[in-house]
Every structure is written in C-alpha cells, then in structure tokens.
Amino acid sequence: MINPKLAPLGKIIRENLRDVPDFPQTGVLFRDISPLLANGEAFSQLVKGLADFYRGRVDLVAGLESRGFLIAAPVAVELGLGTLMIRKAGKLPGPVIGIDYGLEYGKSRMELQPDSIKEGARVLVLDDVLATGGTVNASAALIKRAGAIVESVCVLMELEELDGREHIGDLECEALTLI
C-alpha cells in the first residue's frame, strides 16, 4: 500500500518512467528512471517531497549502487545530512564490510565503509526498485553490522509480482509506486 502522503510522488515517477524490455538480460523488463532524472522540475519535486517526508527522522541517507546514489545524494543535501554509499564489491577504498546477496537476475556482493557511519545513526536507505528484497536485506544487514539503525527504506518502485516486501521482514519500506 502506498502512503497517502507519498502518493503525489508516485504520480511523478509513473509520468517519468520508461520500460526497457530484455535489459540487462533477456526476459527482464527494466524500469528506467532516466526520463525522471532528465526532467529537472519533476526530479526536484521528488527530492523535496522525500526530504519533507523524512525530515527529523533520519541522521544519514544511504544510496544503493548505482541508481540509489542519484536519489540519496540530493535528498541528503536537501536535509542537510551526509550520504552513505553502499557499493558493489571492490569499488570502495579503505576498510569495508561486505555481504553476498541474490538479485532478481543473479547474485552479487555489496560493501560499505563502516567508518562512514556513526554508532546508533538512524539511516534512510534509498533505491530505485524493490524486486526480490535481496539488495534491501543486504544493505540493512551491513548498516546494522556497522552499528547503525535502519530507520526506513524507500524505493521509487516496487515490483509486486516478485514479492520483495514479503522477504524484507520487519523493515519499514515505503514504495512510491507499485508495478
């Protein structure tokens, strides 16, 4: 169910989304947010709307590789907070902690720099899509391992047919649009 306070943001996303069949591999229908990012007015409304919704509730905004970075950084700036990058293995320098996880179309590993998070920080995790829940679960496990709290997860789109929400346990997850 979509939070009524976030419903206008879902409309913005739906109006600025492109479907790309067979990407990144045959049989996958990719939901491309490039038109949203290219529409300055729509993207600005999305960023401000997310910041207003989470203002005062979080201390840090995490973006998941790679489209999550594009959402997390401007939301963090709007909130006056820092941004945490959760990246694919081997992309972050220095000490990292990592976890292996499953994707809609394969397996991967993600990492974060634990010295980028203060103990007990309330973290908002932002990403473009909730599919199987693997990426969300992996990022939440890493954040908890680093000593912080996953306050909320927010995704632009939830792919309902993949039942990702059923696999993320008790994590608070706001989806802006259901597909």
Active-site residues, by number, are 67, 104
Query: H or E segment at 67?
Result: helix 67-79
Spatial separation of the C-alpha atoms in residues 141 and 149, rounded to whole Å = 10
Q: Across-strand partners of 62?
A: 84, 125
* Cα dihedral sign, 5-165-155-160: negative
CA distances from 51 to 20, 125, 174 (A): 29, 13, 13
